[in-house]
Structure 1
Amino acid sequence: MIACCVLAGVLGVVVLFYVFLEVHYFLRMCLTVLLARFCKKQVHILDETSVYGVCITTDIDTLLYHMNNARYLRELDFARVDFYERTNLYREIRAQGSGVVQGAATIRYRRFLRPFSVYKITSKIIYWDDKSIFMEHKFISSGDGFVRAIAICRQRVLECSAEAVMGVLLDRGGKVNGGLEAGIAPTSAPHVRPEIPPEVALWLESNEISSASLRPTPEPPRC
């Protein structure tokens, strides 16, 4: 009797956790951090990282035909965490400021992912300014290497300069066979910001237009 009550209590707690929290999301996030920190080698801040995924039944849309559009952006959380850990980007941001948030994101779907298909997400930094770091992510199907979707995300750093953060990481070690080795000059010149990609420039212009339209219109002066 006591064992049944204990079992019922445990099951009740588990159910409550799943009701109020997306438990498997947090478990997977913890696993991603552990793997990136202890099982994968560190890479240079300008390197490209990859994580793999499978379109399972919880990822598909109501038509049961392909991966739900919202799931693509959710999967990017795990890809970014892997990149943050392996490049020390998040630790450096924490050391200089308070954190980082997603400021904006745009994604273009080129071809859908079918259920149970395996895919790869690549992540790399393509540009930065004083306040934000811009990352490009690609969903690539394993079977044919086709880029199924491409996303650009703006990571807004808080209470520090993105330029300063990138400067430190560009100075820290160099790339050796895809890994990172201290004391070797980086392959790219430090503190040299890349040219802004045209798609990012136009996207930022679109964001500014959107921001301007959302600002309150000043009331006309009263007579």
Structure 2
Amino acid sequence: MEDTLLWIVGVLLLLFCSLDVWYYLRAVVVLIRAWFLSPVFDITAEQTASGRVVLHDVDLCHMNNARYLRECDFARFSLYTRNGVFKALRALGATMVVGATTIRYRRPLCVGEAFEIRSRIVTWDEKSFYLEQRFVSCKDGMVSAVMFCKQNVLRSSPDKILQYLCKRKVEVPEFPEDLQHWINFISASSKALRGEGQLDDKKSE
């Protein structure tokens, strides 16, 4: 009995030392909860996830900057489960990865403060979905932070996902001005990095 208990403790310690166990546990809980919520058939509809700042989220009594991105992960898991995107990805043999994010912090979320993450798919192109995620304080309704996320689709495309879900061709929404500026920045950054790579190749010749 003691040997079994020691073995279990050892395995748990190994897991907690080598993996972010709490992240995976939280992801499972989010996915199960979203599965039992009512589906959302409008692909661009805003969905809300609730949260509260707890002690392991903070540095200097407010939410750590990196925690915002982590919370956005969980909000997207719920979004894609309820609007059917995850289901479409499985059916099409596709997957998604984050290609770029940018976040603007407007006011800190403090310990114990309740907040909502309001997530929505804004638009898409031939390769990626573009999302906006807002952190809204439940105390006074102020937008404490706002993030843009470029979600790249691999082995398929946003159009194919939407045709699978809607059984028809879906018109692409217009790109808001602020989002378009960010996309232009990404394109310029990629072009500059490709140029640096070409210079490195020439130097090595």
Q: Answer whether TM exceeds 0.5 for this pair.
A: yes
- Please state if 1:153 is matched with 2:152: no
Q: How far 1:146 moved relative to its partner?
A: 1.0
- Please state if 1:43 is matched with 2:40: yes
Identity of aligned residues (%): 38
Alpha-carbon distance in 1 for matches of 2:18, 2:117 = 29
From 106, 109, 112, the equivalent of 1:110 is 106
State the SS of the aligned residue for 1:217. Answer: helix
- Please state if 1:195 is matched with 2:174: yes
State the match for 2:8 in structure 1.
10
Alpha-carbon distance in 1 for matches of 2:163, 2:134 = 25
Asked which structure has the greater CA Rg, the reply is: 1
- Please state if 1:83 is matched with 2:79: yes
Structure-to-structure mapping, 1:173-188, within 5 angstroms: none
- Mean Cα deviation higher: 192-201 or 93-102: 93-102
Deviations 1:25-67 (A, max 9, x none): 1111011111111x20000212111111111111112x2x210
Alpha-carbon distance in 2 for matches of 1:18, 1:84 = 28
Q: How far 1:10 moved relative to its partner?
A: 1.6
Change (3 A) 1:4 1:167: same
State the match for 1:22 in structure 2.
20
Deviations 1:48-101 (A, max 9, x none): 11111111111112x2x2100000001111100000110111221232242111
Structure-to-structure mapping, 1:50-69, within 5 angstroms: 50-61=48-59, 63=60, 65-69=61-65
CA-atom RMSD, angstroms?
1.7
Structure-to-structure mapping, 1:67-146, within 5 angstroms: 67-146=63-142
State the match for 2:192 in structure 1.
213
Q: How far 1:171 moved relative to its partner?
A: 4.3
State the match for 1:179 in structure 2.
none
Deviations 1:179-223 (A, max 9, x none): xxxxxxxxxxx6211111111111111111111111123539x9x
State the SS of the aligned residue for 2:183. Answer: helix
Of Structure 1 and Structure 2, the greater helix share is in 2
Q: How far 1:23 moved relative to its partner?
A: 1.1
8 Å contact from structure 1 (residues 42, 86) kept in 2 = yes
